[in-house]
Structure 1
Amino acid sequence: MPSNTSADRTSRRRGIAAAAAVLVVALVLGVVSAVATANKDTSGASGGSAATVATPEAQPPSEQDAELLALARRDADDPHAVGRADAPVVMIEYSDFQCPFCGKFARDTKPELMKYVEDGTLRIEWRHFPLFGEESENAARAGYAAAQQDRFWQFHDVVYSEERKRNSGVFAPGKVEEMAREAGVPDIDRFRADMKSKKAGAFVTADSEEGYRLGVTSTPAFLVNSQPILGAQPLETFEAAIESAAKAAKAAGGTGAPGKESDKNTGEEAAE
């Protein structure tokens, strides 16, 4: 039995590696496109881009697609996720709270995508991907701490409510505590302790390592089921990807993750 388990794990790692190679190629193509088409007004930021990956026609998932689809956690109690656990489409978002492009997506695009969450089509799963040093790490830990009191998305909305200057002390411990209060985190002492905990560090590291294994090097980066999208793309790019993924899931005879309980974090609750 142990040998079979080891073989299964080895096979899965190889599958993820192969799927990751596909994602890396797509992300590299996105970066090349970004260099050619990025808006000149980037506010000096080194994350995000104006790149996109063409939406494929709906079709049953390949073996590599299946490995990417398996990255969705679909945990009904995950406070970092919004939408039904059995939604046919899962969008994984790798983001940094200091990234201006992530903020643009959060302010301009995510609210428009909530219609898909509300009708049961889409689930959004956040991954912490701190890129810009100590303050990014601090902000990610703060996000984790807010999540322990079911206030992650409220904290997310407070952080991204305005563009903040990177590495300027905005995400110092006292500042993120103020954001947590604004987000309605009830127990600030617990928030402070959770931020400093080993669990917070391990959680953020695990999220980041998942992204790096896939070849993510800038934020925001997304997986819409198995389709990568790089940067704060126009709304239409995400709508096309979500609708294509939903059609592909239907063509494959699936509606998400059968047998899994619906996520308690509905779009309505996340908007509170």
Structure 2
Amino acid sequence: MPKSHPPAPTASPTASPTRKLAAIGAIVALVVAVLAVAVAVGKAVEGGRDGGGAGAPRAAASGPPQEDPAQQKMFDDLARRTSRREGGDPLAVGKKDAPVVLVEYADYQCSFCGRFTRETQPELIKKYVDAGTLRIEFRNFTIYGADSERAARASWAAGQQGRFWQLHDELYATTRKGDALAEDKLVDMARASGVPDLGKFRTDMKSAAAERALKRDQDEGYGLGVQSTPSFLINGRPVSGAQPTEVFAQAVRDAAARAAKKEAAGK
């Protein structure tokens, strides 16, 4: 999502007052939509940078909540912007055309991110990814400095050899901070995760391509107003923190129901 707003189109000297008002109205509508998305995501990640506290908002426990058409369109547009659905994406799991996409913004030093990976993600994969309903796309959103960035580069580098999820799970197997994410320790974890070419792994970690990949994820998160980890978008609707598994399961079911309804309506 863009961080700045496009300039107003320049009206010609002969433009009528009606046309000028229409142009101004279109820009005001765009600004309102951008701010509404930022506020929605920002509110969903309030409560601290390591956003797994009890005060984080939860998804609805029943069926999909009733939303006005403008709000539904806002979240649908957000989903289209953030759900990359790139074929062969090593940082994604699930069908490219799955009706529901969960986008996760996370940091490898975040203990609540680890909780989600250990406790919730396996259940979501078993129930919804394997069934073709859900796709999970991971974003490296580093907020704890150089050690987090090194770990993020390592996970990306493992992905270049088809072992992203193996190293991802190893990094989150326990809470790791500081020296536990030194380069040699990351190489040891890559070896344990089955990364075949460790020389290439070291090179890829330090490459400009890794830097660009991290910047892309960070720019996307900051542009949305993400403030803490873990933060999630489920078909564009924000959920924050390591909520109980059922909260995510319900959000996935709600999103799948909305997607089915839209398809039935021919939209």
1:207 lines up with 2:217 in the alignment: yes
Gaps of 5+ in 2: 1-5, 8-26
C-alpha separation in 2, matches of 1:14 and 1:203: 33
Deviation by residue 1:118-148 (Cα, 9 ceiling, x = unmatched): 0000000000101100000000100110000
1:30-49 aligned at under 5 Å gives the runs 30-31=44-45, 34=47, 46-49=49-52
* Cα RMSD, aligned residues only: 2.5
Q: Which residue of 1 aligns with 2:106?
A: 95
Map Cα deviations across residues 30-57 of structure 1 (whole Å, 9 max, x no partner).
Answer: 455x48xxxxxxxxxx412231244342
> Matched residues in 1 for 2:32 and 2:168: separation?
33
Superposed CA deviations along residues 197-217 of structure 1, whole A, max 9, x for unmatched, are 001001001101100000001
Whether contact under 8 Å (2:103, 2:138) holds in the other structure is: yes
Secondary structure at 2:104 match in 1: strand
Q: Match of 1:67?
A: 77
Matched-pair identity in %: 46
Alignment CA distance shift 1:17-1:215 (3 Å): farther
Q: Which sits farther off after the overlay, 187-196 or 13-22?
A: 13-22
Say yes or no: does 1:52 pair with 2:52: no
Larger radius of gyration: 2
Deviation at 1:58, TM superposition (A): 6.7
1:143 lines up with 2:143 in the alignment: no
Q: What is the alpha-carbon distance in structure 2 between the residues aligned to residue 76 and residue 116 of structure 1?
A: 19
Secondary structure at 2:122 match in 1: helix
Query: Partners of 1:17 and 1:148 in 2: how far apart?
Result: 38
Q: Give the secondary-structure state (helix, strand or coil) at the position aligned to 2:105.
A: strand
Q: Work out the number of aligned pairs and report it.
A: 232
Bigger mean CA deviation after superposition, 128-137 or 63-72: 63-72
Residues of 2 paired with 1:239 and 1:226: CA distance?
15
Q: Is the 8 A contact 1:27 1:228 kept in 2?
A: yes
Q: Which runs of 5+ in 1 are unaligned?
A: 1-5, 8-12, 36-45, 255-272
Alpha-carbon distance in 2 for matches of 1:233, 1:190: 37
Is 1:155–1:179's contact at 8 Å kept on the other side of the alignment?
yes
> Per-residue deviation at 1:64?
1.4
User: Structure 1 length normalisation: TM-score?
Assistant: 0.78
1:29 pairs, out of 43, 47, 51, with: 43
**Distance change >3 Å, CA 18–CA 64, structure 1 → 2:** farther
Aligned with 1:76 (options 82, 87, 91): 87
* Residues 224 and 241, structure 1, Cα contact 8 Å, conserved in 2: yes
- Alignment check: 8 A CA contact 2:45 2:228 kept: no
**Alpha-carbon offset, residue 162 of structure 1:** 1.2
